[in-house]
Amino acid sequence: MEYKELIDIALEARKMAYVPYSHFKVGAALLTKTGKVYKGCNIENAAYSPVNCAERTAIFKAVSEGDKDFTAIAIVGGAEEDEKLSICPPCGVCRQVINEFVDADEFDVILGTNDPEVMKVFKLRELLPLGFGPNNLKVQ
């Protein structure tokens, strides 16, 4: 799948965001090794701490359906009133959750906007250089 197509899916997911407090909408599209895509949006809560980010929503949807083999995630976000979006990187918690399920040296994090010419692609390792993951807990 072309990364621009994955960004378009993330833009569609962004429309579903529930953001009555921050008014900052984020959408994510998670690509599996089989080509299936899981969409996610951020979902806020009046108590603030139960907020769930778009990236985690997509990952949790996939895992809850038995899918754990991912190749890439596209992320788009910005204030709901912004006509032109800027690059929106994943938060630290989302980086850690992604790290749980992927090879950080192989997994692509695609940061897009609503301008098809604006896109940045990173390996997760670049965004989380010393990530703590399942291998840290294996008994030697």
Name the residues annotated as catalytic.
55
Distance (Å, rounded) from C-alpha 82 to C-alpha 24?
9
Sign of CA dihedral 27, 33, 36, 38: negative
Q: Diameter of the chain by CA atoms? A: 52
